[in-house]
Amino acid sequence: MLTGGLSRKQVLAELKKIRRLDQRYDGGMVLCSMCTKPHPTAEKAYRLFLSSNLGDPGLFPGSARIEKEVVGELATLLHGENCFGNVVSGGTEANLMALLAARNTANASAPEIVLPESAHFSFTKVCNVLKIKSVYVKLDSSFRVDPVQVVKSISENTIAIVGTAGTSELGVVDPIEELSRIALERKVWLHVDAAFGGLVIPFLDGDKPKFDFSLEAVKSMTVDPHKMGMAAIPAGGVLFRHQEALDCLKTETPYLTDRYQYTFVGTRTGAAAASAWAAFKSLGIEGYRKIVGKCMQNTQLIANGLVDASCSLVAQPSLNIVAFRSKGGTKRMSEKLRQKGWLISYVPRYDCIRIVVMPHVKKKHAEVFLKDVAGIEKL
């Protein structure tokens, strides 16, 4: 029931009380999230566009322009200057749109996709909704998808191959260059889920794996500003190499200002796009390099400290994710860390603890965390 009758002061007081139940990124204890506190200007931008609706762009041409510019910035960053796309609600919707476009383009009667065992669980939802069969491929010893197995798994029903640039559990980058060669040879759509890595890899120092539109077979990409892009939720991104991909997603909108919508979600906020725009314009390439550089330094600090504390790393971190096991029992370690207030993930598939070293995790937090790990390991 809509009880109502509370004053503004009462409403806000009650909400503030309830909000205290939520975790805050500021304390540096949240080590299991791929989201972070948005850039301060991104927060302001969000408020500025709070009532805009990108589902009806004729009413909000300013917001539509912002979305176009955000897509343009992401595309340029990922070597796809002439790509098309949308700011969507997140990686799940982006993966959904990409595979919907792949399925509509292929027009197969019993569509299948070939994807790594490490692919994000959003593909389970996507395959369920789109009635696509998922053919999972084993990983090699470095937790990357095995290209030989990918080739073996392709059939006449395959509408797409999926690779991940920055897996959710270990931060591993699949051999996208090899997947691209396979996709070209077999004339099949290649989708790269760079929801996390898309706004990390371009800013890394030194050699970087090729993973984007610079590879000819990559037809679509997921890249989420609300993860390492410092934008406010819900800011995901889907990019397509060709306009035809978007064309086969279009739905007629008889009573709205524009004749077509291309996204799955209808009414959608322009605020998220504005927050991404604000983060991009505030930080620029140099700003993101600094942020990613700091995250990688803290990642290395944690990885080294864990080894010093006699823990073992599942893999050397390639992005800002560390996965480790404890000699005294990984499950036990994760429980003890949780008792100390650390919000970490235990990953049953690899029997490891996973830590995402986001921008809100500072050196001082890493040091306290390592002290706690060492203390537990000694017990």
Ligand X SMILES: Cc1ncc(COP(=O)(O)O)c(C=O)c1O
State yes or no: residue 34 binds ligand X (CB under 6 A): yes
168 binds ligand X (CB under 6 A): yes
| Residue 321 contacts ligand X per CB under 6 A | no
* Binds ligand X (CB under 6 A): choice among 224, 270, 275, 358: 224
Considering only residues 175 to 204 of the shown chain, the ones binding ligand X according to CB under 6 A are: 193, 195-196
In whole angstroms, the minimum distance from the beta carbon of 177 to ligand X comes to: 18
Give the CA diameter of the chain: 67
309 binds ligand X (CB under 6 A): no
| Cβ 343 to ligand X shortest distance, Å | 15
Nearest approach, Cβ of residue 215 and ligand X (Å): 18
Minimum CB distance to ligand X smaller for 232 or for 309: 232
Q: How far is the CB of 156 from ligand X (least distance, A)?
A: 28
For residue 199, count CB atoms less than 10 angstroms from its CB and return exposed for 0-12, middle for 13-18, buried for 19 or more. buried
Q: Using the CB atoms, write b or e for 139-152: b if 16+ within 10 Å.
A: beeebbbbbebbbe
> What DSSP string describes 213-249?
TTSTTEEEEE--TTTTT-PPSS-EEEEESSHHHHHTT
DSSP 144: S
Residue 318 binds ligand X (CB under 6 A)? no
Size of the site for ligand X (CB under 6 A): 14
Measured from the CB atom, is 115 or 333 closer to ligand X?
A: 115
Neighbours of 159 (CB within 10 A): 24
Q: Cβ 234 to ligand X, closest distance in Å? A: 7
91 touching ligand X, by CB under 6 A: yes
Q: Which is closer to ligand X, CB of 52 or CB of 164?
A: 164
Stretch that binds ligand X, among 85-93, 151-159, 203-211, 253-261 (CB under 6 A): 85-93
Separation of CA 92 from chain center: 9
Contacts to ligand X from residues 232-261, by CB under 6 A:
236
Rg of the chain over CA atoms, in angstroms? 22
Residues numbered 106-145 forming contacts with ligand X, rule: CB under 6 A: 120, 122
Shortest separation between residue 123's beta carbon and ligand X, angstroms: 8
Q: State which H helix or E strand residue 92 sits in.
A: helix 91-106
Task: Please identify, using beta-carbon distances, which residue of 95 and 326 lies nearer to ligand X.
Answer: 95
What residues have CB less than 8 Å from 326, skipping those under 6 apart? Answer: 311, 332, 333, 353, 373, 376, 377
For residue 354, the surrounding DSSP H or E stretch is strand 352-356
- Residue nearer to ligand X on the CB measure, 34 or 176: 34
- The interaxial angle of helices 40-48 and 271-308, nearest 10 deg, is 150
Measure CA 66 to chain center. 21
Residue number with CB closer to ligand X (333 or 355): 355
Angle between helices 363-378 and 330-339 (to 10 degrees): 120
DSSP letter at 192? E
**Residue 263 binds to ligand X (criterion: CB under 6 A):** no
Shortest distance, position 168 Cβ to ligand X, whole Å = 3
Beta-bridge partners for 160: 113, 189
| Rounded distance between C-alpha atoms, residue 343 and residue 29, angstroms | 6
Minimum CB separation of residue 358 from ligand X in Å reads: 12
- Segment interacting with ligand X (CB under 6 A) among 36-44, 84-92, 108-116, 252-260: 84-92
Q: How far apart are CA 210 and CA 168, in angstroms?
A: 19
Instruction: Give min distance, CB of 138 to ligand X, in A.
Output: 18
Closer to ligand X by CB, 67 or 193: give it.
193
CB of 271 to ligand X, least distance (A): 16
Residues that bind ligand X (CB under 6 A): 34, 90-92, 95, 120, 122, 164, 168, 193, 195-196, 224, 236
